[in-house]
Amino acid sequence: MTRSPLLGVVLSAGASTRMGSPKALLKLPDGRHLVQAHVAALAGVCDQVVVVGGAHTQALAAALGPSTRLLDNVHWRHNHAVDSLALALRETRVSQALVTPVDVPPAGAMDLAALVAAPSPAVLAWRDQPGHPVRLGPALCERVRQGPVPGGLRTLLEDATRVPASGPEVLLNLNTPASWAAWAAGD
């Protein structure tokens, strides 16, 4: 049986006000931007990857280059991450997706492979606490595509398969300079 194409989505539309600079463009020790690391990780298991920008779309375009598909959520000020996801799903018409916000550590290859192999919907979890990324199957992709989703994507994932992650990083949110510095330092 052939698997349906799998879309990787990196959500990066917000203004990054708590960080003080675009989170997607934070530099990793290897010199890559955080968004580049997410795209590379998802490209290892997905048939295509898109990044949804908003507040910093032009800067994202410069960092990503022409080989990465970048969508612009022009309504980023007035909507939520699930609306950026809906834009990606409407533009691509793919029926399965791995979704991550840009402001989390990129998932490792083993964790992503386990997430892809799990029944959908699924979420990487540490000690049964859901984290990121998440996997959506056809029914949830269509539900998000049709919108609106009151309460956001998490409301649709309450019964998602919890896929044990290799470490607690799946629970982190890199929203402030302090959280970024602690993660980058390995604390």
CATH number for the domain spanning 72: value is 3.90.550.10
- State how far the Cα of 143 lies from the Cα of 159, in Å rounded to an integer: 15
Q: Residue 94's domain spans which residues? A: 6-182
pTM of the complete model: 0.96
* Residue 1 counted as domain residue: no
In the chain, the number of structural domains is 1
Residue 76 pLDDT exceeds 90? yes
Whether 109 shows a pLDDT value over 80: the answer reads yes
In a domain, 187, yes or no: no
**Band of pLDDT at residue 162, cut at 50, 70 and 90:** very high
Average pLDDT over residues 180-184: 92
Q: Decide if 119 is inside a domain.
A: yes
